[in-house]
Structure 1
Amino acid sequence: MNLIWQRFTLSHFPIKEYLNSSYLHRFLVGLLHSWRQGSVLIRWGDTIAAGLLSLVYALAPFASSALIGVLLFACVGFWLLLTLSDEPAPAQASLFTPIHLLVFLYWGIAAVATALSPVKKAALNDLLTLTLYLLLFVLCARVLRSARLRSWIITLYLHVSLIVSIYGMRQWYFGAPPLATWSDPESAFSKTTRVYSYLGNPNLLAGYLLPAVVLSLVAIFVWQSWFKKALALTMLIVNTACLIFTYSRGGWIGLVVAILTVMVLLFYWWSVQMPPFWRTWSLPIILGGLIGVLLLAIIFVEPVRLRFFSIFADRSDSSNNFRRNVWDAVFEMIRDRPIIGIGPGHNAFNKIYPLYQHPRYSALSAYSILLEVAVETGFVGLACFLWLIIVTFNTAFLQLRRLRESMNIEGFWLIGAFATLLGMLAHGTVDTVWFRPEVNTLWWLMVALIASYWTPLKQGQSPELNSPDPQPAAN
């Protein structure tokens, strides 16, 4: 059974053999290698790539989607230049992981869905957008293999998110007019301020801040000086407060899932060093305390109580009723094209959805990641997407286990990426912000962060922890 799981998750996938047998890889990689040897600029290729990525993550909350698209084009173009001038295989085999393989497989399925789409022109436009995001992942995975560049990009994002959160807290304190009808005007909650900061939408802001909350939490353990730890704690408090004041129910669900995941993984990280009592009771105490805080907030804070119980109000809540009507139409779309879908992107969705929509319930997407993937690429694409998620989580856990052997503090970033992805999936199950560039670029950054730690297991090597009592490594 263990062997089947390892094969399913590609734990022993022979990367070097695969690359050596790939005609495309052998033809493209190293094509301009001789030019690279004489180029002064390209020797700093990864640093320049990190600069381009920094522009993406620094400007994402403030810039238009068009500008972000231009920056993504620049990132993809520079990645292509780096790839063509790389060392030929197998020297660069470590840059290709099982996660890359499934990302490219998903792109291939999306391309087939585009070719078979009833609205090919609309689907082709969004296939290009999907390609930009997937190649952004490839460039991120390459750059983040450097611990220095990894630290820089994470730190940059955390500082930008702090600016976004501070402005959001200002809106909460002074008030902010809603830019759209996010709440039922007849409900008791309608007078409560929902912050949206620079992103213009509280649900989108919650999706953007979720990785910041998790990464600022683990940064407390990664950053060494007391000043940096205090900064990380400040980021954690401000980002968490701002996310809460979005009153995004999907964001709250994602936050709870992410924090619980962090608690479990931190317990796993330290469990080998704990005395027997704390090894048994620390996790129940922490989880019990967290649940207690949530219950107190629900009981004594009226806006939290109203938003919480609205989750279970079914169709009596206007937002729930809207989603239910959209989902009913989406299920009909999936029923009619279950195998390969209608093609990727919201343009294709906007062409097909009006044929199925219920009166007065127009929508730009399926309001759920899994339903959207099923609509766009059918059950074939959904199966590949779920396979990609499983392989990513399995890779994260195996590399976390490896880093725990030496108590390498880099493992905390893995914990953060793992928890963030799970939280974003929980949020995206009931919302559509995952497909917006501010959030989608962060999703692929987290996947790339996990891929950047990947090291292949040799045939016959067990993924089990080898050392029952690892000693901390000097950092």
Structure 2
Amino acid sequence: MNSIWQNLTLSTLSFQQWRSASYLHRFLSPLRRWRQSSFMLRWGDLLGAVLVSLVFAIAPFVSDDKSSLAVLLTACAGFWVLLTVSDGDTGNDRHTANELQTELLSPQGFWQTLANPGRSSPLATPIHFLVVLYWGVSAAATALSPVKRAALTGFSKLTLYLILFALMARVLRSPRVRSWVIGIYLHAALLVSSYGIQQKISGVAALATWVDPTSPSAKEPRVYSYLGNPNLLAAYLLPAIALSLVAVFAWRRWGPKLLAATMLVVNATCLYYTGSRGGWIGFAVMAFVLLALLFHWWNVSLPRFWRTLALPTGLGLIAAVIVLAVLVVEPLRDRVSSIFVGRNDSSNNFRINVWGAVVEMIKDRPILGIGPGNVAFNSIYPRYQRPRFSALSAYSIPLEIAVETGIIGLTCFAWLLLVTLNLGWSRLQQLRAVRNQDGFWLIGAIATLLGLLSHGFVDTVWYRPQVNTLWWLMIALIASYYTLPAETQTALEDV
């Protein structure tokens, strides 16, 4: 049974032996020699980190109809290709976790480590394999799409996101870069949340009908900050809440810890003011996962009595606080209760009708779907649309994936999640054993993935660039912790 699980989660898979025997890898040796003489590419990973940081610095402040983010994503893709085709042998420069940590803490080794973060984390991981497989399924769905030109637009966007993932997984192997990129995103989110709270204080007019006008909560304004949509803002803030919480423990000095605590309060407050029911569901799931993983991290140092009672006590307290808040805070109670009234709420009724039409689309093309992207969806959906229920997406991540890439794509995506979460959990155990503080970022990434997925079951803001880049940041964050299986690494060192 254990071997079946290892095969399913690709726990023993290694691309390093394939790479050393690859004819393509040998063919690119002139490029590797050129890279060794290039001053710029000596700092390739650091320059890649700068490009990645720019993505998260500007993403919430540019609208979807602007080309600046697309140009930046294209630059990231081109730079990743340049780094990858000229990359040298990664087998001769490995560090143990303790050696790498010592080097990072040494001022002399700081810049050297940024330029070359070491090879204890290989460039290719089982997550990369599933990402490439998902890309291949999407390519097949595009080729067989009934609206090929529209699907090609979505496929090109997906390709940019997946290459961004590959670049992030590469540069985030350096703990310093990892902390910096997360810090830049958290600072951007702090600005976004602060403006959202300012909108609540000064009053803001809704830009769309986001609440049933007959609902008691219709009188409560919903903030949207720079993102123009409260549901999109809520999804954008979920990673900020998780990462700011774990930053309180991961950042070592008191100044950054206090800043992280401030970010946590501001982000959580702004999330509440969005009035996003999907965002609140994602937050509840994320909070429970965060508490469970943090308890798991600390339980080895707890007294024996609390090792058994701490987790159920903590989860019970969170549940009690949530229930009490729903009962006492009237706007919260009105919004939460609207979840359970079914079609009596116009937003619920709209989604139910869209979901019904999307299911019919899936039934007609169940294998590979209609092709990726909202342009393809908008080309096909009107044929199945129910009267007065036009839609730009499926309003559910599983349904969106199924309608775009069929059952094959949905299965591949589920496999990718399984492998990612398994890798994150196994690396968390290793970091917990040596009390490495970087394990807190893994806790935040795992909780964020599950929170965004929970939100995504009832909405598809996940496909907007401000959120999609964050989704792949979490995947890349987990992938950056990957290390070779012990037996594979030993075999390579003997070559």
Partner letter of residue 74 of structure 2?
F
TM-score, normalised via structure 2 length: 0.91
Q: Give the residue type in structure 1 aligned to 2:441.
A: W
Give the CA deviation at 1:89: 6.1
Q: Is the 8 A contact 1:325 1:358 kept in 2?
A: yes
Q: For each residue in 1:144-169, what CA deviation from the matched residue of structure 2 results, as whole angstroms up to 9, or x when unmatched?
A: 00111111100011111001000001
Residue 12 of structure 2 corresponds to 12
Q: Identify the residue that residue 71 of structure 2 maps to in structure 1.
A: 70
Q: Which secondary structure does the structure 2 equivalent of 1:311 belong to?
A: helix
Task: Give the partner amino acid of 2:376.
Answer: A
Counterpart for residue 393 of structure 1: 421
Aligned positions, number? 460
Q: Report the AA paired with residue 222 of structure 2.
A: R
Q: Which amino acid aligns with 2:63?
A: S
Q: For structure 1, which segment, 77-86 or 317-326, has the greater mean C-alpha deviation from structure 2 after superposition? A: 77-86
Of the structure 1 ranges 372-381 and 14-23, higher mean CA displacement relative to structure 2 is found in: 14-23
Matched, 1:45 2:44: yes
1:79-103: CA deviation from partner (whole Å, max 9, x where unpaired): 1111122104656781000000000
Q: Which residue of 2 aligns with 1:265?
A: 293
TM superposition score normalised by structure 1:
0.94
The offset of 1:21, in angstroms, is: 5.0
After TM superposition, give the deviation of residue 393 of structure 1 in Å. 0.1
Cα distance per residue 1:241-272 (max 9 Å; x no partner): 10111010110011011111010001111112
| Cross-structure match for 1:467 | none
Segments of structure 1 that go 5 or more residues without pairing to the other structure are 462-475
Amino acid at match of 2:81: L
Q: How does 1:202-213 map to 2 (within 5 A)?
A: 202-213=230-241
Q: Runs of at least 4 residues of structure 1 off by over 6 A?
A: none
In 2 relative to 1, CA 299–124 (structure 1 residues): closer, same or farther, beyond 3 Å?
same
Shift of 1:25: 5.0
Q: Which residue in the other structure is 1:132 paired with?
A: 160
Residue 64 of structure 1 deviates from its aligned partner by 2.9
With over 3 angstroms needed to count, the CA separation of the structure-2 counterparts of 1:26 and 1:347, relative to structure 1, is: farther
Q: Is the 8 A contact 1:26 1:89 kept in 2?
A: no
Q: Where do residues 107-256 of structure 1 align in structure 2 (5 Å cutoff)?
A: 107-256=135-284
Deviation readout 1:304-363 (Å, 9 max, x if unpaired): 001111111111111110000000000000000000110010111011000001011111
**Offset at residue 27 of structure 1 (A):** 4.3
Conserved 8 A contact 2:230-2:275: yes
Q: CA deviation at 1:460?
A: 10
- Closer/same/farther in 2, CA of residues 460 and 64 from structure 1, 3 Å limit: closer
Q: CA separation in 1, counterparts of 2:250 and 2:90? A: 34
What residue identity is the alignment partner of 1:83? Answer: T
2:3 maps to amino acid: L
Shift of 1:32: 1.1
Cα pair 2:90 2:122 within 8 Å, conserved:
no
Q: Quote the residue 2:82 is aligned against.
A: 81
Letter in 2 for 1:272: V
Give the 3 Å change call, closer, same or farther, for CA 309–263 of structure 1 in structure 2. same
Judged with a 3 Å threshold, the aligned counterparts in structure 2 of structure 1 residues 25 and 423 are, in CA distance, closer, same or farther, namely farther
Distance change in 2, residues 1:127/1:254 (3 Å):
same
Tell me the alpha carbon deviations over residues 369-428 of structure 1, each in whole angstroms, 9 at most, x when there is no partner: 111000000000000000000000000000001101100000000000000001000001
Residue 179 of structure 1 aligns with an amino acid whose one-letter code is L
1:96 aligns with 2:131: no
Q: Deviations over 1:99-126 (max 9, x none)?
A: 0000000000000000000000110111
Secondary structure of 1:189 counterpart: helix
RMSD over aligned Cα, in angstroms?
1.5
Amino acid at match of 2:197: M
Is the 1:31–1:84 contact (alpha carbons within 8 Å) kept by the matching residues of 2?
Answer: no
Letter in 1 for 2:256: K
Instruction: Tell me if structure 2 keeps the 8 A contact 1:19–1:89.
Output: no
Residue 18 of structure 1 deviates from its aligned partner by: 3.2
Q: Contact (CA 8 Å) 2:370, 2:376: kept in 1 or not?
A: yes
- Tell me how far 1:26 sits from its aligned partner: 5.0
Distance in 2 separating the partners of 1:376 and 1:395: 27
Aligned equivalent of 1:304 = 332
Partners of 1:31 and 1:387 in 2: how far apart? 37
2:353 to 320, 325, 333: 325
The match for 1:469 is none
